[in-house]
Amino acid sequence: MAQRKKDYRVIVVGVGMVGSMMVRVLRERKFPAKEIKILATRERIEEIAGRKYQVKVADAQEFDGFDLAFFAGTEGASGASKLYGWEAVSRGVVVIDNGKDFRMDPRVPLVVPEVNAEALKRHQGFIANPNCSTTQMVVALAPIHRAARIKRIVVSTYQAVSGTGSKARVELEQQVRDWAAGKKPVWEQYVAPIAFNLMPQIAGLKHEFPGYYEEEIKMVKETRKILGDPRLQVSATCVRVPVLNGHSEAINVQTAKKLSVAQARRLLAKAPGVVLVDQPDLDQKKLKFLDPRRSRWPYPQMADGRDEVFVGRIREDLSAKNALDLFCVSDNIRKGAATNAVQIAEELVKRNLL
Amino acid sequence: MAQRKKDYRVIVVGVGMVGSMMVRVLRERKFPAKEIKILATRERIEEIAGRKYQVKVADAQEFDGFDLAFFAGTEGASGASKLYGWEAVSRGVVVIDNGKDFRMDPRVPLVVPEVNAEALKRHQGFIANPNCSTTQMVVALAPIHRAARIKRIVVSTYQAVSGTGSKARVELEQQVRDWAAGKKPVWEQYVAPIAFNLMPQIAGLKHEFPGYYEEEIKMVKETRKILGDPRLQVSATCVRVPVLNGHSEAINVQTAKKLSVAQARRLLAKAPGVVLVDQPDLDQKKLKFLDPRRSRWPYPQMADGRDEVFVGRIREDLSAKNALDLFCVSDNIRKGAATNAVQIAEELVKRNLL
Prediction ipTM score: 0.96
What pLDDT, in 10s, does the model give residues B27-66?
A: 999 999 999 999 999 999 999 999 999 999 999 999 999 9
Contacts of B320 in chain A (CB under 8 A): 152, 233, 235
What pLDDT, in 10s, does the model give residues B261-275?
A: 999 999 999 999 999
Q: What is the chain B residue with the closest CA to A287?
A: B191
Give the β-pairing of B323-330 and B247-255. Answer: antiparallel
What pLDDT, in 10s, does the model give residues A237-272?
A: 999 999 999 999 999 999 999 999 999 999 999 999
Contacts of B286 in chain A (CB under 8 A): 191
Taking domain B134-332, whether its CATH number is 3.30.360.10 is answered by yes
B313 to A353, B147, B152, B321: CA distances (angstroms): 44, 19, 19, 18
Spell out the residues 6+ positions from residue A191 whose beta carbon is closer than 8 angstroms to its own: A199, A201, B284, B285, B286, B287, B295, B296
> Per-residue b/e over B169-200, b at no fewer than 16 CB within 10 Å?
bebbbbbbbbbbeeeebebebbbbbbbbbbbb
Average pLDDT over residues A71-96: 92
What pLDDT, in 10s, does the model give residues B121-151?
A: 999 999 999 999 999 999 999 999 999 999 9
What pLDDT, in 10s, does the model give residues B232-267?
A: 999 999 999 999 999 999 999 999 999 999 999 999
* A133, A137, A152, A154: best to mutate for the B interface, most B CBs within 10 A: A154
Query: How many CA atoms lie within 13 Å of A264's alpha carbon, on the beta-carbon side?
Result: 31
Average pLDDT over residues A54-79: 92
Q: How far apart are CA B29 and CA B339, in angstroms?
A: 9
Give the β-pairing of B51-57 and B44-48. Answer: antiparallel
pLDDT of residue A314: 98
In sequence order, the β-bridge partners of residue B322 are none
Average pLDDT, chain B: 94
| Cβ within 8 Å, pair B239-A248 | yes
Q: Is the pLDDT of residue B284 over 80?
A: no
Q: Which residues of B are catalytic?
A: 132, 247
| Cβ within 8 Å, pair A280-B210 | yes
Q: Is the dihedral of CA B313, B308, B275, B130 positive or negative?
A: positive
Class of domain B8-130+338-350: alpha beta
- To the nearest whole percent, how much of chain A has pLDDT over 70? 96
pLDDT of residue B73: 80
> Which residues belong to CATH 3.40.50.720 in chain A?
8-130+338-350
pLDDT of residue A205: 86
pLDDT of residue A4: 52
Alpha-carbon A45 to chain mean position: 27
> Which residues belong to CATH 3.30.360.10 in chain A?
134-332
Q: Which residues of A are catalytic?
A: 132, 247
Q: Is the pLDDT of residue A290 over 70?
A: no
Q: Is the dihedral of CA B316, B318, B322, B325 positive or negative?
A: negative
Query: How many CA atoms lie within 13 Å of B31's alpha carbon, on the beta-carbon side?
Result: 30
Q: Is the pLDDT of residue A73 over 70?
A: yes
Q: How confident is the model at residue B289 (pLDDT cuts 50, 70, 90)?
A: low
Q: How far apart are CA B134 and CA B115, in angstroms?
A: 12
What length does chain A have? 354
Q: Is the pLDDT of residue B323 over 80?
A: yes
What pLDDT, in 10s, does the model give residues B148-189?
A: 999 999 999 999 999 999 999 999 999 999 999 999 999 999
pLDDT of residue A281: 83
Contacts of A319 in chain B (CB under 8 A): 152-154, 220, 233-235
Backbone angles phi, psi at B310, to 5 degrees: -95, 125
Query: Contact at 8 Å (CB) between B279 and B310?
Result: no
Q: Is the pLDDT of residue B4 over 60?
A: no
CA triple A159-A141-B221, angle to 5 deg: 75
Q: How far apart are CA A324 and CA A252, in angstroms?
A: 6
Q: How confident is the model at residue B285 (pLDDT cuts 50, 70, 90)?
A: low
Q: How far apart are CA A352 and CA A337, in angstroms?
A: 23
In sequence order, the β-bridge partners of residue B252 are B154, B325
